[in-house]
Amino acid sequence: MYLKRPAGGLAFCLFYLASCFTNKYVLSVLKFTYPTLFQGWQTLVGGLLLHVSWKLGWVEINLCSRSEILSWLPASVLFVGIIYAGSRALSRLPIPVFLTVHNAAEVITCGFQKFVQKEVIHLLIDTFKVPPVI
């Protein structure tokens, strides 16, 4: 089918835009000002579902040492900060400006990895390619 190949990319774009509009509505119109509370609730529910799935044998979880868990603590704190900052930015900026700044950050990170750290960057461009019309 002609649209089968780009369907994944199109679905991602639609869901991404829908989540931005939904979050903008919740943050701006409904004046929800506690994004870390919402993230904590999501994390608690996700953790409980993961624990129940582990007890039922649906997923396998390898036990980690305390030092391995503590090594993830700085990244976890930064992730909470990113969620909070993104929520504050989305509540104050128009959606096109927010999306431009948000995606510019990804481009800057990719450029830093490529030109400063000399890493080979593998992008998922094939998802968004449209087959030529014959």
pLDDT band for 52, please (50, 70, 90 cuts). Answer: very high
Average pLDDT, the chain: 78
Cβ atoms 125, 50 nearer than 8 A: no
Q: Which H or E element spans position 37?
A: helix 35-55
Between 5 and 8, the higher pLDDT residue = 8
Residue 102 · residue 94 · CB < 8 Å: no
Query: pLDDT at residue 27 above 60?
Result: yes
Domain boundaries along the sequence of the chain? 1-32+93-129
